[in-house]
């Protein structure tokens, strides 16, 4: 499994290196940047799964950088803000711009790790939800306007209302999968995953 890649942006080398060491000990992959310019370069070089962003930096402050990413559509992963001089107004503004959370310095290691874990999990669930919606939008309904097709669809909708097993048979290309998806979309399980299984690969050794 690919390690989550975290970008730590902080102009203080001791804090930057400490956070990097802590995260690497927890089996995260870590990149660091000491300024907004270095952060731009780091983001250009690879994709990150999470960003830890300090507010006070010498060239551009973290809130301005977050606003830039938000307005240009570059906020592609969770951002956790950090500051030793933050205010409630700053935290509210950062959250409004899309920050996942706000951590005060000196950092609590336990809180840091918990917030990172929750942010990554929330992003994973968000992406899974997007994938499911995209998957659902690609579902095709059986084509045809004949009386036989309409009767078949009506029967499929009725079957979807019952918690029962359905066996569909037919020649290859006859639309079994499309009809199976149609039944699934009209069942109580429509918000769950539709899982395809190629029975041709099942043998007596892996059937269980």
Do 42 and 113 lie in one domain? The reply is: yes
pLDDT, position 204: 61
pLDDT, position 108: 96
Do 85 and 160 lie in one domain? The reply is: no
pLDDT, position 144: 67
Q: Residue 77 CA to chain centroid, in angstroms? A: 8
pLDDT, position 165: 84
Domain that holds residue 52: 5-135
CATH code assigned at 63: 3.40.50.2300
Do 72 and 165 lie in one domain? The reply is: no
pLDDT, position 177: 81
Instruction: Report whether 46 contacts 31 (CB < 8 A).
Output: yes
Whole-angstrom Cα Rg for the chain: 25
The pTM score is 0.66
Six token digits for residue 39: 């952060």
According to DSSP, the residues that pair with 6 across neighbouring strands are: 30, 50
Do 126 and 190 lie in one domain? The reply is: no
Which stretches of the chain score pLDDT less than 50?
Answer: none
- Whether 140 is covered by a domain: the verdict is no
Cα–Cα dist 5/75, whole Å: 15
Cα–Cα dist 104/70, whole Å: 22
pLDDT, position 201: 59
- Whether 93 is covered by a domain: the verdict is yes
- The DSSP string of 11-32 is S-HHHHHHHHHHHHHTT-EEEE
**How many Cα atoms sit within 13 Å of 93 on the Cβ side?**
13
Do 75 and 156 lie in one domain? The reply is: no
- Whether 208 is covered by a domain: the verdict is no
Do 79 and 101 lie in one domain? The reply is: yes
Distances (CA, A) of 114 to 11, 111, 117, 142, 176: 23, 5, 5, 47, 46
pLDDT, position 79: 98
For the chain, what is the domain count? 2
With CA atoms as reference, report the closest residue to 50 among 84, 110, 9, 14.
Answer: 9
Do 20 and 109 lie in one domain? The reply is: yes
């Amino acid at each position: 499994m690919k390690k989550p890649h975290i970008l730590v942006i902080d102009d203080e080398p001791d804090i930057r290196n400490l956070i990097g060491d802590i995260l690497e000990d927890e089996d995260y992959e870590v990149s660091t940047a000491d300024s907004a310019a270095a952060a731009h370069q780091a983001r250009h070089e690879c994709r990150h799964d999470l960003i830890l962003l300090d507010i006070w930096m010498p060239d551009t402050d973290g809130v301005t950088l977050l606003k830039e990413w938000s307005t240009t559509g570059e906020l592609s992963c969770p951002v956790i803000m950090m500051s030793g001089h933050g205010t409630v107004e700053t935290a509210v503004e950062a959250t409004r711009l899309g920050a996942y959370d706000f951590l005060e310095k000196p950092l609590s290691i336990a809180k840091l790790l918990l917030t990172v874990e929750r942010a990554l999990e929330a992003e994973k669930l968000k992406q899974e939800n997007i994938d499911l919606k995209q998957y659902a939008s690609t579902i095709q309904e059986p084509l045809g306007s004949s009386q036989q097709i309409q009767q078949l669809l009506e029967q499929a909708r009725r079957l979807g209302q019952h918690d029962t097993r359905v066996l569909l048979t037919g020649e290859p290309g006859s639309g079994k999968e499309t009809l199976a998806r149609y039944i699934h979309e009209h069942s109580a399980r429509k918000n769950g995953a539709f899982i395809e299984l190629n029975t041709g690969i099942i043998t007596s050794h892996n059937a269980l």
